[in-house]
């Protein structure tokens, strides 16, 4: 059975929200691993020093990821996190090898482009940003006879 293309593409805004939510959750795990050694300690042991480059990365990933998960301030946060991931890739991974699979930078490269896309496309309909943009229902039009008398 072939699915109707129009019916499938009609769901693309919701799939954008799902992409943002799932990617943000996974991204947050990278941050909580650095900051709190949760859900498991990093390869080097416990949490990183908060006042270090890795500590800054952990804070950005944890709290930026939370904002993206909720869809709050999505575009600017996603743009900042795309930059953070690009910096992480070129500082920590690219010097090891050209290929992301060999230099351990697959997640950094992928997150960088996912966040860049989200910063352009927006959060999707399932977000606090979208909730804020919804207009309250307009009051009914009243005829002069129905208008309250002052």
Which residue carries 């009051």 as its tokens? 139
Tens-digit pLDDT profile for residues 78-98: 999 999 999 999 999 999 999
Residue 14 makes CB contacts below 8 A (sequence gap 6+) with 124, 125, 126
Average pLDDT score, the chain: 92
pLDDT at 142: 64
Q: Is the pLDDT of residue 147 over 80?
A: no
Reduced 3-state DSSP string for the chain: CCCCHHHHHCCHHHHHHHHHHHHHHHHHHHHHHHHHCCCCCECCECCCCCCCHHHHHHHHHHHHHHHHHHCCCHHHHHHHHHHHHHHHHHHHHCCCCCCHHHHCCHHHHHHHHHHHHHHHHCCCCCCHHHHHHCCCCCCCCCCCCCCCCC
Nearest to 115 by CA among 9, 28, 24: 24
What pTM was estimated for this model as a whole? 0.86
Top pLDDT among 6 and 105 is at 105
d(CA 47, CA 34): 5
């Amino acid at each position: 059975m072939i699915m109707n293309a129009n019916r499938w593409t009609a769901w693309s805004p919701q799939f954008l929200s799902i992409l943002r939510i799932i990617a943000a959750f996974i991204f947050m795990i990278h941050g909580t691993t650095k900051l709190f050694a949760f859900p498991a300690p990093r390869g080097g042991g416990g949490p990183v020093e908060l006042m270090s480059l890795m500590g800054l990365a952990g804070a950005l990933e944890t709290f930026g990821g939370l904002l993206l998960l909720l869809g709050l301030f999505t575009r600017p946060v996603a743009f900042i996190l795309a930059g953070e991931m690009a910096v992480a890739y070129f500082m920590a991974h690219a010097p090891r090898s050209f290929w992301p699979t060999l230099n351990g930078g697959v997640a950094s490269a992928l997150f960088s482009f996912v966040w860049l896309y989200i910063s352009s496309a927006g959060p999707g309909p399932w977000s606090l940003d979208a909730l804020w943009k919804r207009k309250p229902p307009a009051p009914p039009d009243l005829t002069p006879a129905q208008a309250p008398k002052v």
